[in-house]
Amino acid sequence: MEFKNQKPIYLQIAESICDSILAGKYRENEKLPSVREFAAEVEVNVNTVARSFEWLQNQDVVATRRGLGNFVNEGARESVLKLRRKEFFEEQVPEFFRTMKALGVTLEEIIPYIK
The predicted pLDDT at position 4 comes to 80
Domain assignment of residue 52, yes or no: yes
For residue 27, tell me if it sits in a domain.
yes
**How many distinct structural domains can be found in the chain?**
1
Residue type present at position 11: L
Report H helices in 1-115: 9-23, 35-42, 46-58, 76-87, 93-103, 107-114
CB atoms within 10 A of CB 53: 23
pLDDT in tens, the chain (115 residues): 778 888 899 999 999 999 999 999 999 999 999 999 999 999 999 999 999 999 999 999 999 999 999 999 999 999 999 999 999 999 999 999 999 999 999 999 999 998 8
Domain span at 19:
9-114
Question: Is 2 a domain residue?
Answer: no
Q: What pLDDT score does 115 carry?
A: 81
Look at residue 46 and tell me if it is in a domain.
yes
CATH assignment of the domain containing 14? 1.10.10.10
In a domain, 1, yes or no: no
What global pTM score does this model have?
0.82
